[in-house]
Amino acid sequence: MVGHSNTTPALANLLLNEQRFNPLPETEYGKIFILRRNTDSTWKVEVIDY
C-alpha cells in the first residue's frame, strides 16, 4: 500500500484490526510498511527504514 504519513499507519491498523501504529510526523519520509497475510489468516508485519 502507498499513502501519506497520516493515512498509511491508519490503513495498516484497519487491515490488522488493531491499533498498532500511530500517525507519522510530517517530517518522516523514510518508512516502508509491509503487511503480508499468511494462509492461516495471521499477519507478518515489517516496518523498514529506507
Q: Which of 9, 16, 10, 20 is nearest to 44 (CA)?
A: 16
Report pTM. 0.83
**Domain count along the chain:** 1
At 2-26, the pLDDT tens digits run: 788 888 999 999 999 999 999 999 8
Q: Is residue 1 part of a domain?
A: no
Domain coverage including residue 16: 8-49
Q: Is residue 2 part of a domain?
A: no
Q: Is residue 43 part of a domain?
A: yes
Q: Is residue 42 part of a domain?
A: yes
Q: Is residue 44 part of a domain?
A: yes
Mean pLDDT for the chain overall: 91
